[in-house]
Structure 1
Amino acid sequence: MRISTVTMFDQSVSAMNRQQGDFMKVGQQIASGRRVVNPSDDPQAASRAVGVSQAKAVTEQYADARVSARNTLAQGESVLNSVSDAITSAKTLLVQAASDTLSDVDRQSVASELRGIYETMVGQANATDGNGRFLFGGYRDDSPPFARTTGEGVSGTQYIGDENTREQRIDSSRLMPVADNGMAIFKSVPSGAGYVARAEKESAGNVSIGTQPGYVRNEGSVAFTSGPNRVDPDNAHFGKPFELEFSTNVDGDPIFSVSAIEADGTRTPIITEAVYETGKSVSFGGISITLEGTPVDGDQLQLRPANHADANQDVFKTLKDAIDVLEMDQGGLAENRAHFRNTISSTMRELDNSLDNVLTVRASMGARLNELDVVDAVGDNRMMNYEQTLSDLVDLDYNEAIAEYSLRQVGLQAAQKAFVDVKGLSLFNFL
């Protein structure tokens, strides 16, 4: 077979180019540290690497979301810590103000301190997360959730946020609440809270004296000194609101009747015209309460479950009622003294319920912070697995690559030496 000189030259050049290409490919792998520099190097590994890289990027986004969620929860938990301290301080002041040794001027001084706590709590309820978003406004986080209200029969604060809970996705299967709304924190009580008593009587007009609109203060001096306490939760009427009303019998002695208020507003008599004895405990509907003082016809006592729709669950209204009654001039009147004692007793119970609720929400935030730590640990392990998988798919084995580099270098040198030898072949050397 005859082989032309041109063919010999072409094959030699092709061999050098091929060896040089293989040599440069190994050099690129060593320089980049990757076995798969181009998808054509290993199409299957390159395809799998794209999927792993995308999953890794999503995991990194979830990690950033957890950082944001942790910051929001930590700020919210810090605010609720301050709120719980403020409620505790308010309770301490009310215990001090309930002492019979204080004068009206002394109580007004306590009211001034309590007003400072009130203003502090309103400020905490309107706290922001540092990015201009209000923590406790739900999804309406662009304006303060609690606004001041004024007008006849209305005072204090009004919640203008929504009742949704802002959530953030911290993992593919977890949507976490990161900011509780103000209604659930400052205007709610735990589901297991007990009864709260209010000594009032219904008014024909819309009159308010430190209590709810539509009610006026009792004219007698009846005050509740203990309770309402739970004695029989299995009672058929337990959990319903009750109304205790005073009157007099034909002999002029004070008597009282107790009715359970049904869901449709109807009243079911429980006690009818029982003789009232001051200082004696009265039990009905699974609860008991101790009363003392002298009632007047028409005086009423409302007892409602703390989580009932008609019960006061607003911690700001509770503080406002306490401030109003502390600033009241008792004038040495027994009925004013009874109203003061009843209001202080009610607000103390309501503050206890509000504190329990704040601590419950705060504990929930702490649990979510702990959950973030657990999800972070899982995310870190997942990232390590992705890194290992990517390394197995595209990273370079340097020992194998260096050996390949040396082999390709020898092959290139051999091809170059063969080309030199072929190029030097000529019949003219023998003439």
Structure 2
Amino acid sequence: MRISSVTMFEQSVSSMNRQQGEFLKVSQQIASGRRVVNPSDDPQAASRAVGVDQAKAVTQQYADARVSARNSLSQTESVLNSVNDAIASAKTLMVQASSDTLSDADRQSVASELRGIYETVIGQGNATDGNGRHLFGGYQDSSAPFVKKADGAGGEYIDYVGDSNTREQRIDASRLMKVSENGESIFNSVPSGAGYVAEAGKFNAQGERIGDNAGSVTFSGPQVIDNGNSDYGESFRVVFTSDTEYSVEKENTTGGWDTLTSGNTYDPASSSVSAGGLRLELKGEAVAGDTVEFAPADEMNTNLFQTFEKALKVLENEAGNPVSPERSAERRNTLNTVMREFDNSLDNVLTKRAAVGARLNELDVVDSVAGNRMLNYEQTLSDLVDLDYAQAISDYSLRQVGLQASQKTFADMKGMSLFNYL
């Protein structure tokens, strides 16, 4: 076989380049800490690593979404805590205002403090999340959900202009979580099983209170005496047909009233009315046309702001007016109704707060599960592409020796010539 000097040089250079390439590849692996630097190093592992990287990125996106959800829920919980404290303070003031020993000035002082709480609750209802979005506006979160409007009689009322939707956020592949509550469900609702509420006064066909009673009848209750009664859960009213007689009526499905009993004798000293498994205690002087209605809480006033307005009206308008049995009865009845409504509103806020707290706890659980998932992804990715340093250092030393041998061989061969053997 004919061997030329050019052949020997080419083979030596080729061997040296190959050894140098393998040495540089191992050096690159050690520098990057990865076994698979280029897809060609291990196509199958590189392909699987891309899938794992994508899964990690999605998991991280959900983690970022949970941070946002936690911030929104934490702010909601904080506001609900403030509303809870405000309602509790208002209840305390109602107990104080119910005392017959208070003077006009005392009740004006109570009314002034109550109005401050009222304004605070309005402010909490219009709270924002720090990014300009209102917490309780539903999808209509760009503007305040609770606004003051004129009632046409020289007064004002609070109107909810948000919607009944609730913002949601996907916190995991299989979990879409509510991250807020709408104002309707917090400030204009009562919890299920809230019981009965009674209210004295004259009402229109729509159940709206349109006037005060003319007499001085006061009520207490209603108390549940038989929740198994077939009529339990229906709406009732006591209508005085004279100062000594009354009838008991039940609301029918069309919004009208059917008479259950009539011609009942009324004792101003104390009378007990039973209907639908409930008992209502009445006393005081009655006038024909006076009415006391008692119905499930969700069919009566459920608006927290309207509850404040009723209490403020009876406290602020009483100052300077002569104290009469009728006005005293009106105040007592209104405050009794208001305290029950505050109880129901407080229970509702506590229920919503508990639900928000449960979602915050769920976020912690999902975070823990996602953390374990990320660890699994990291381990899988490490198994696929990460470098075994002990093996790599051994290969590095071997490639270094191989490269040095190639360089030594080339240095020795380049001084040889076939002419030396002629």
Q: TM-score category by the smaller chain?
A: over 0.9
Match of 1:366 in 2: 357
Q: Using the TM superposition, give the Cα deviation of residue 415 of structure 1 relative to its aligned residue in structure 2, in angstroms.
A: 1.8
Supply the AA of the counterpart residue of 1:133.
R
Match of 1:384 in 2: 375
Task: Specify whether residues 314 and 285 from structure 1 end up closer, same or farther in structure 2 by C-alpha distance, changes over 3 A only.
Answer: same
Determine whether 1:25 maps to 2:25: yes
TM-score, structure 1 length as denominator?
Answer: 0.94
- Asked if 2 retains the 8 angstrom alpha-carbon contact of 1:246 and 1:295, the reply is yes
Match of 1:35 in 2: 35
Give the aligned CA root-mean-square deviation in angstroms.
Answer: 1.7
Match of 1:170 in 2: 171
Match of 1:72 in 2: 72
Q: 1:314 aligns with which of 303, 306, 315?
A: 303
Match of 2:263 in 1: 273
User: Aligned partners of 1:356, 1:193: CA distance in 2, in Å?
Assistant: 8
Supply the AA of the counterpart residue of 1:216.
G
- Asked if 1 retains the 8 angstrom alpha-carbon contact of 2:76 and 2:180, the reply is yes
Match of 1:116 in 2: 116
Match of 2:224 in 1: 230
Task: Specify whether residues 236 and 155 from structure 1 end up closer, same or farther in structure 2 by C-alpha distance, changes over 3 A only.
Answer: farther
Match of 1:239 in 2: 233
Q: Using the TM superposition, give the Cα deviation of residue 295 of structure 1 relative to its aligned residue in structure 2, in angstroms.
A: 0.9
Is the deviation greater in 299-308 or in 412-421? Answer: 412-421
Match of 1:209 in 2: none
User: Aligned partners of 1:271, 1:398: CA distance in 2, in Å?
Assistant: 94
Determine whether 1:303 maps to 2:294: yes
- Asked if 1 retains the 8 angstrom alpha-carbon contact of 2:201 and 2:209, the reply is no
Q: Using the TM superposition, give the Cα deviation of residue 203 of structure 1 relative to its aligned residue in structure 2, in angstroms.
A: 6.1
User: Aligned partners of 2:208, 2:278: CA distance in 1, in Å?
Assistant: 26
User: Aligned partners of 1:428, 1:109: CA distance in 2, in Å?
Assistant: 123
Q: Using the TM superposition, give the Cα deviation of residue 346 of structure 1 relative to its aligned residue in structure 2, in angstroms.
A: 0.3
Q: Using the TM superposition, give the Cα deviation of residue 354 of structure 1 relative to its aligned residue in structure 2, in angstroms.
A: 0.3
User: Aligned partners of 2:231, 2:418: CA distance in 1, in Å?
Assistant: 125
DSSP-derived class of the 2:259 partner: strand
User: Aligned partners of 2:344, 2:209: CA distance in 1, in Å?
Assistant: 24
User: Aligned partners of 1:245, 1:151: CA distance in 2, in Å?
Assistant: 28
Q: Using the TM superposition, give the Cα deviation of residue 391 of structure 1 relative to its aligned residue in structure 2, in angstroms.
A: 0.7
Q: Using the TM superposition, give the Cα deviation of residue 424 of structure 1 relative to its aligned residue in structure 2, in angstroms.
A: 2.8
User: Aligned partners of 1:28, 1:296: CA distance in 2, in Å?
Assistant: 100
User: Aligned partners of 2:307, 2:338: CA distance in 1, in Å?
Assistant: 6
**Superposition map of 1:206-217 within 5 A:** 215-217=210-212
User: Aligned partners of 1:427, 1:37: CA distance in 2, in Å?
Assistant: 44
Which whole-Å deviations, capped at 9, do the CAs of 1:103-122 have from their partners, x for residues lacking one? Answer: 22221221111111101110
DSSP-derived class of the 1:156 partner: strand
- Asked if 1 retains the 8 angstrom alpha-carbon contact of 2:236 and 2:275, the reply is no
- Asked if 2 retains the 8 angstrom alpha-carbon contact of 1:203 and 1:216, the reply is no
Is the deviation greater in 401-410 or in 4-13? Answer: 4-13
Q: Using the TM superposition, give the Cα deviation of residue 421 of structure 1 relative to its aligned residue in structure 2, in angstroms.
A: 3.2
DSSP-derived class of the 1:331 partner: coil
Supply the AA of the counterpart residue of 1:319.
F
TM-score, structure 2 length as denominator?
Answer: 0.95
Match of 1:130 in 2: 130
**Which structure 1 residue ranges, 5 or more long, are not aligned?**
207-211
- Asked if 2 retains the 8 angstrom alpha-carbon contact of 1:237 and 1:286, the reply is yes
Match of 2:335 in 1: 344
DSSP-derived class of the 2:201 partner: strand
DSSP-derived class of the 1:307 partner: helix
Is the deviation greater in 417-426 or in 118-127? Answer: 417-426
Match of 1:423 in 2: 414
Supply the AA of the counterpart residue of 2:11.
Q
Is the deviation greater in 153-162 or in 231-240? Answer: 153-162
The percent of aligned pairs where both chains have the same amino acid is 63
Q: 2:249 aligns with which of 256, 259, 268?
A: 259
Q: Using the TM superposition, give the Cα deviation of residue 14 of structure 1 relative to its aligned residue in structure 2, in angstroms.
A: 1.2
- Asked if 1 retains the 8 angstrom alpha-carbon contact of 2:249 and 2:259, the reply is yes
- Asked if 2 retains the 8 angstrom alpha-carbon contact of 1:145 and 1:159, the reply is yes
DSSP-derived class of the 2:179 partner: strand
**Which structure 2 residue ranges, 5 or more long, are not aligned?**
none
User: Aligned partners of 2:19, 2:119: CA distance in 1, in Å?
Assistant: 83
Match of 2:188 in 1: 187
Supply the AA of the counterpart residue of 1:341.
R
User: Aligned partners of 2:253, 2:226: CA distance in 1, in Å?
Assistant: 20
